[in-house]
Amino acid sequence: MVVPLTDDIYWVGVVDWALKHFHGHELSTHRGSSYNAYLILDEKKVLVDAVWTPFEQEFMAQVRELIDPAELDYVVANHSEVDHAGALPALMREATNAELLVSEKGLESFPGNYHADWKMRAVANGETLNIGKRDLVFIEARMLHWPDSMFTYVTGDNILMPNDAFGQHYATAGRFNDEVDQHELNHEALKYYVNIVSPYSNIVTKKIDEILAMGVPVDMIAPSHGVIWRENPLQIVEMYQEWAAQKTEPRAVIIYDTMWNATARMAQAIGDGLSDEGVDHKLLQMSVTDRNDALVDVFNARTVIAGTPTFNNGMIANMAPIIEELKGLRLKNRLGATFGSYGWSGGGAKVLHERLAEAKFRMIGEPLEVQWQPDADALQRCREFGREIAVATKAG
Ligand SMILES: Cc1cc2nc3c(=O)[nH]c(=O)nc-3n(C[C@H](O)[C@H](O)[C@H](O)COP(=O)(O)O)c2cc1C
Ligand SMILES: [Fe+2]
Ligand SMILES: [Fe+2]
């Protein structure tokens, strides 16, 4: 069903309740998602964004409820990724009079992804387009999160349509932030930030400063996934500012895996050392923990303590995905430490140590390796290591 945001502006997207994985299987989406598109019926008829390809017919039906697609004057495509532009081929076949408006970088990515011959024009950063009672203002948002990303601002109703920024993978019956569970909403907004946006934290800060400096009123923030921020819409901007700054709290997370529990017992002893010094922490065994959820815990912690048994001279394979991801996320202001059990050669924890150092973690001490199952002495050393890590964590 279509949902009005204000007079003449409608949500015409789709809710994907069943989505459990996104970006292939790269991202878990336990609470589904939505693909939001917005129709503006002013003197000019404008559609902002579309939806993912499998939902193109559902989306076209939403649009047709309000307008014959042939009456569209403009289709604004803020971003070429298939979850928003995948339905464009179906739409543009019927929107025969519409001009497709994209960012400058979109001139490369739209043909690159769709190989279609659309009437397409790039709008400049800051360009204004009058559509009757309202203007659309286009704001380039390069690398938030693709080169082509763009925000569209609607004057009069003061609605910012920032596409992927400020979104959440969160399927809901209500379309607005004041209609849903606040705890779930905040969690999904953070998980989305950590897993998708955090590598671009510096750009987030700059872009937000730039928009706030424009001094324009913002009554709604209508992203391309999840709910529309209507009640206190700037709360999500403030959260992004805080997340982008990455000021960490003195907490730790122990991410590890184990075959026969030796490394797990070390993890527990290190945890006891953290507790001795009053440092809150979690133990996450990566073979049974969702990586994207674990990254939220990592993001919330100052210190990452990574453990692995030595496995064929290196780390166990279940640790590799999160370690690889930590490199890509380029987290700031983080401390690291590593540990693990081995049988003969050792070296697994050293590999972890090198990887975390490469990912710009400031490493505490040397890798702590214990041969075979830890005895009471070894567990004591682990606990002391935990205390040492706690002291460093508190010092920041
Ligand atoms: C398939 C396999 C490969 C292993 N490769 C190595 C190795 O290359 N070097 C080493 O020192 N230990 C190696 N080990 C021994 C383990 O590191 C050792 O058993 C350790 O205590 C396991 O810790 P965990 O109980 O935390 O899994 C290997 C063990 C297995 C089962
Ligand atoms: Fe995207
Ligand atoms: Fe998206």
In angstroms, the Cα distances linking 372 to 97, 167, 308, 367, 378 are 71, 46, 12, 16, 10
Q: What is the model's pLDDT at position 223?
A: 98
Lowest-confidence segment of 81-85, 204-208, 226-230 by average pLDDT: 204-208
Whether residue 290 lies in the annotated active site: no
pLDDT tens figures, 57-68: 999 999 999 999
Which atom of ligand 1 lies nearest, measured to the CA of 312?
Answer: 8
- Active-site hit among 23, 209, 354, 358: 23
Which amino acid makes up residue 51? V
Pocket test for ligand 1, best of 254, 257, 312 (most atoms within 8 A of CB): 312
Which residue is closest in CA terms to ligand 1's atom 2? 311
CA 350 – ligand 1 centroid, Å = 14
Pocket test for ligand 1, best of 257, 288, 311 (most atoms within 8 A of CB): 311
Instruction: Copy the structure tokens of residue 112.
Output: 């690159």
Averaged over 387-395, what is the pLDDT? 98
All structural domains of the chain with their residue ranges: 3-245, 252-395
CA 247 – ligand 2 centroid, Å = 26
Q: What is the model's pLDDT at position 298?
A: 98
pLDDT category at 385 given cuts 50, 70, 90 is: very high
Whether residue 240 lies in the annotated active site: no
Q: Which CATH number fits domain 252-395: 3.40.50.360, 1.25.40.10, 3.50.50.60, 3.30.365.10?
A: 3.40.50.360
Strand partners, 63: none
Averaged over 203-224, what is the pLDDT? 94
Q: What is the model's pLDDT at position 280?
A: 98
pLDDT tens figures, 178-197: 999 999 999 999 999 999 99
pLDDT tens figures, 325-354: 999 999 999 999 999 999 999 999 999 999
Which of 253, 278, 258 has the alpha carbon at shortest distance from 335? 253
pLDDT tens figures, 83-138: 999 999 999 999 999 999 999 999 999 999 999 999 999 999 999 999 999 999 99
CA 311 – ligand 1 centroid, Å = 5
pLDDT tens figures, 270-279: 999 999 999 9
Whether residue 135 lies in the annotated active site: no
Which residue is closest in CA terms to ligand 1's atom 28? 311
Mean pLDDT over each residue of the chain, to the nearest integer = 97
Measured CA to CA, the distance from residue 324 to residue 302 in angstroms comes to: 18
CATH class of 3-245: alpha beta
Measured CA to CA, the distance from residue 15 to residue 152 in angstroms comes to: 22
Q: What is the model's pLDDT at position 63?
A: 98
pLDDT tens figures, 277-309: 999 999 999 999 999 999 999 999 999 999 999
Decide whether any atom of ligand 1 lies within 6 Å of the 310 Cβ. Answer: yes
Decide whether any atom of ligand 1 lies within 6 Å of the 287 Cβ. Answer: no
